[in-house]
Amino acid sequence: MGTIEIEANDHVAVLRFNNGVSNTVSSDFVNDLSDALKRTKNEFKGQVITGGEKFFSIGLNLPELLTFDRFDMTDFWYRFNQAIYDIYTHPLPTAAAIAGHAPAAGTIFAIASDYRFAAEGRKLIGLNEVKLGIPVPYIAVLMLSQILRNQAAMAMLYQGEFIEPAYAKEIGLIDQIVEQDKVEDRALEKIKEIAAMPAPALHAVKANRVEDIRVKFERNHKEQHEIFLNCWFSDSTQELLAKAAENFKPNR
């Protein structure tokens, strides 16, 4: 699968990000993730999404995306958001096993999952988009608002600061913190427990849980994507993104 590996652990799939050390979200990565999600839906009873020990995922591959014109960036942005939507609405129970840093898109992959397990220590989590002149993706705002109380969600969205797992657990963003070498095992344990439930009932319960956000996203995503793209291609934001890309080492 290229940038995404699928490993079977009994009836649970482990989707392992494999796009360099930092697991950047490139165009190929999004395609591979979408393909992997289609496969797990048909072949497994649950799934765990995980990355590397240094980076779960560092986020969007800015050096690549800044070469895109509006047509190509629009195509990428729709596919990226669709992949997030597909994780969130996926019929299988899904856990994120976060052993490394998970800023920006890394955090979005996590909050799209049903459960989130993180390694102890200094692992950065957060949504810093506003500092770069772009809005947090619409679907991420919807998902975060479902998980967190209003004040905690506002702080993450408006201030764009990174937080560590201990505080993330305190506000309800992370379900459990474990030793780094046990994060994936704990996520697998939880998903196997949930996946043992009768599948038709479990799928129905999950569909009901995500229904409100599914309806809002499908109704509003095109307008919201245009707002994002207008921000992305503004002169001031392009300057901020270019400056951020100067220090971007996607595979180190």
Ranges of beta strands (E only) in the chain are: 4-9, 12-17, 24-25, 46-50, 59-60, 94-98, 102-103, 115-119, 125-126, 176-178
Per-residue pLDDT tens digits for 45-91: 999 999 999 999 999 999 999 999 999 999 999 999 999 999 999 99
CB neighbour list of residue 37: distance below 8 Å, 6 or more residues apart: 15, 83, 86, 87, 90
The rounded percent of the chain whose pLDDT value lies above 70 is 98
Q: Which residue ranges make up each domain of the chain?
A: 4-195
Give the confidence band of 182 by pLDDT, cuts at 50, 70, 90.
very high
Q: Is the pLDDT of residue 251 over 70?
A: no
Mean pLDDT, residues 221-235 taken together: 98
d(CA 83, CA 102): 17
Q: Is the pLDDT of residue 184 over 90?
A: yes
**Model pLDDT, residue 129:** 97
Round to the nearest angstrom and report the end-to-end CA distance of the chain: 21
Under CATH, domain 4-195 is a member of which superfamily? 2-enoyl-CoA Hydratase; Chain A, domain 1 (3.90.226.10)
The rounded percent of the chain whose pLDDT value lies above 90 is 97
Q: Tell me the helices (H) and strands (E) count for the chain, helix number first.
A: 10, 10
Inter-residue contact 198 to 106 (CB < 8 Å): no
**Model pLDDT, residue 203:** 96
Q: Is the pLDDT of residue 228 over 50?
A: yes
**Model pLDDT, residue 248:** 74
Mean pLDDT, residues 198-219 taken together: 97
CB neighbour list of residue 222: distance below 8 Å, 6 or more residues apart: none
Q: Is the pLDDT of residue 1 over 70?
A: no
State the angle between helix axes of 235-246 and 199-232 in degrees (0 to 180), rounded to the nearest 10.
110
Q: How far is CA 70 from CA 65, 67, 133, in A?
A: 10, 10, 17
Mean pLDDT across the chain: 96
Per-residue pLDDT tens digits for 136-158: 999 999 999 999 999 999 999 99
**Model pLDDT, residue 252:** 47
